[in-house]
Amino acid sequence: MTLERLSPQSLARVQPGIAVPTYDRRSITTGIVHFGPGAFHRAHQAFFVDKLLATDSRWGICDVALRGTATPEALTVQGGLYTIAELSPSPSFRIVGSIHEAVAAPTYPEVLRARLAAASTRIVTMTVTENGYALMPSGDLDTARSEIAADLATPSAPTSLIGWLVEGLRLRRASNLAPYTMISCDNLSDNGARLRRAVVQFASQVEPDLARWIDGEARFPGTMVDSITPASDEALKARVAQATGLLDMVPVQREPFVQWVMEDHDSDPDWAAAGVTLTRDVAGYEQAKLRILNGAHSTLAYLGLLRGRRTTRDAMADPMLAAFARTLVGQDIAPSLTPPAGLDLAAYAENVFERIANPAIEHHLGQIAFDGTLKLAIRLYPVIEAAIAAQRPLDRLAIPVAAWMRFIRRRAREGTEIIDPQAERLAERGTASTGTGAHDVMLFAEFLPRTDPAITAALARAYDAIGDGGLLPGDGW
């Protein structure tokens, strides 16, 4: 039997028990332009806006793809509707209606230009990954990058995120409209300030007065976003079709937990009413996530892979691994944090482990293990630094770093691809390793932010203790 496609017309025929928009979608106006209509945006920001629209119709979303047309075209056919599957032992399904329209920028640049210049557009959000901001390691805009250089040469015909943001702001200033608020929703540390810097630097090369206006008038609140969102696949489409009775070509799936922390910037809309956490300390929430959630992920990944585990749920089903990760978080990572007001670190950590162990989610350890030189630098090394400053022991904290070294050693000796910006040098070090802590730790020393004798000694002990097979029960760690 051929299923009917999800659309505003077929919505009335959705299966019972499926959550659907409770507001009149015909009354919605576009108040938000979003760049990057991928799965995370639709599982996260569009979900919060869907709740917001129940009481405030001004905030419909215009989703914009900077490249490609498949997602905007599919959303357009479905009238902006799509399904979120929340993954748990008892999954639930919700049809979201917050996307008012979807546009492919290369195909309809004039539509996007009109939306950015419209008085009703008050907010621009984005999920374009760190690469989409075109930043150099220094944090400055990379003006030599091809798309940025092209946009600077012809700023009225942009193709990049930064180029489009500045062109929209130029049009608003020319019409005596206030700048829109720009909200980065990417996992980029200090994302609001870094976005401001890029936008102002681009504008300063186009029109210095425009740059001064943006810097003085525009808002760039920082954010922290969190929800495990596995990639959509054909199996998800089939599961959604069975649950809803309708064919959805762009469903998304995520865990039930979803968090959006935003710097309180005193403006519309009422984000708190939609479940967004407003705070003056986004960095505190960001550090808790990076160190507790992401630190636990990396710990389980490197130790779990050494022990033959495949997914985070497999790792949490290993009593030794689960016990070690809990102890590390409780006794070593949590003391490195100063939580913002309202955040209970013990409750947060317990929630993290429940999420990691979710039996309905396949979060592969191999994927978490990628880019270790980048991830460990922000997830675990700051905790080591804090432990040194507070004169706390390093033995447990050395274990996941030593496990990363063992992981690299195994991959190199097997001839398996290492995915990391330093892959070539890591492969050389792994191949030259002997399996002895005193020797191998110094091979990897160039990738460590500090090589104090106390650190290298702790790493050597940990490296020898866990061996190539991972930490064993009864080690006393």
Q: Over range 35-41, report the average pLDDT.
A: 97
**Is 153 buried (19+), middle (13-18) or exposed (0-12) by CB count in 10 A?**
exposed
pLDDT recorded at residue 442: 96
Round to whole Å and give the CA distance between 10 and 101. 18
Beta-bridged to residue 24, according to DSSP, are: none
- Residue 471's identity, in one-letter code, is L
Give the length of the chain: 477
Same-domain status, 270 and 298: no
User: Quick one: tokens of 180?
Assistant: 């829109």
Asked whether residue 1 is assigned to any structural domain, the reply reads: no
Contacting residues for 12 by C-beta, under 8 A, at least 6 apart: none
Residue 476: pLDDT over 80: no
Round to whole Å and give the CA distance between 247 and 51. 23
Asked whether residue 425 is assigned to any structural domain, the reply reads: yes
Same-domain status, 287 and 273: no
Contacting residues for 381 by C-beta, under 8 A, at least 6 apart: 448, 449, 450
pLDDT digits (tens, 9 = 90+) for 61-80: 999 999 999 999 999 999 99
pLDDT digits (tens, 9 = 90+) for 139-172: 999 999 999 999 999 999 999 999 999 999 999 9
Asked whether residue 333 is assigned to any structural domain, the reply reads: yes
Same-domain status, 331 and 235: no
Q: Which residue, of 228, 260, 280, is where some domain finishes? A: 280
Asked whether residue 477 is assigned to any structural domain, the reply reads: no
Same-domain status, 220 and 312: no
CB atoms within 10 A of CB 477: 18
Nearest to 242 by CA among 3, 66, 450, 467: 3
Same-domain status, 275 and 287: no
Percent of the chain at pLDDT above 90? 93
pLDDT recorded at residue 473: 53
Give me the CATH number covering residue 211.
3.40.50.720
Same-domain status, 310 and 248: no
pLDDT recorded at residue 137: 87
Residue 184 φ/ψ, nearest 5 degrees? -75, 130
Round to whole Å and give the CA distance between 76 and 7. 9
Round to whole Å and give the CA distance between 381 and 450. 9
Residue 202: pLDDT over 70: yes
Q: Which residue, of 236, 262, 280, is where some domain finishes? A: 280
Same-domain status, 275 and 380: no
Where does the pLDDT of residue 206 fall: very low under 50, low under 70, confident under 90, or very high at 90 and above?
Answer: very high
Beta-bridged to residue 262, according to DSSP, are: 223, 278
Residue 450: pLDDT over 90: no
Percent of the chain at pLDDT above 70? 99
Asked whether residue 126 is assigned to any structural domain, the reply reads: yes
Asked whether residue 147 is assigned to any structural domain, the reply reads: yes
Q: Which residue, of 265, 280, 295, is where some domain finishes? A: 280
pLDDT recorded at residue 451: 87
Same-domain status, 303 and 432: yes
pLDDT recorded at residue 470: 82
Same-domain status, 149 and 160: yes
Number of domains into which the chain is organized: 2
pLDDT digits (tens, 9 = 90+) for 252-308: 999 999 999 999 988 789 999 999 999 999 999 999 999 999 999 999 999 999 999
Same-domain status, 245 and 156: yes
Indicate left, alpha or beta for 121 from its phi (over 0: left) and psi (-120 to 50: alpha): beta
User: Look-up: residue for tokens 């700023």?
Assistant: 155
Same-domain status, 74 and 206: yes
Give me the CATH number covering residue 291.
1.10.1040.10
Residue 71 near residue 42 (C-beta atoms within 8 A): no
Nearest to 139 by CA among 182, 202, 194, 200: 194
pLDDT digits (tens, 9 = 90+) for 398-423: 999 999 999 999 999 999 999 999 99
Same-domain status, 253 and 302: no
pLDDT recorded at residue 277: 96
Sheet bearing 82-86, strands edge to edge? 92-96, 82-86, 252-254
User: Average pLDDT of the chain?
Assistant: 95
pLDDT recorded at residue 266: 81
Residue 76 near residue 86 (C-beta atoms within 8 A): no
What is the domain extent for residue 291?
A: 283-466
Asked whether residue 472 is assigned to any structural domain, the reply reads: no
pTM exceeding the 0.85 threshold for the entire prediction: yes
Residue 84: pLDDT over 70: yes
Asked whether residue 123 is assigned to any structural domain, the reply reads: yes
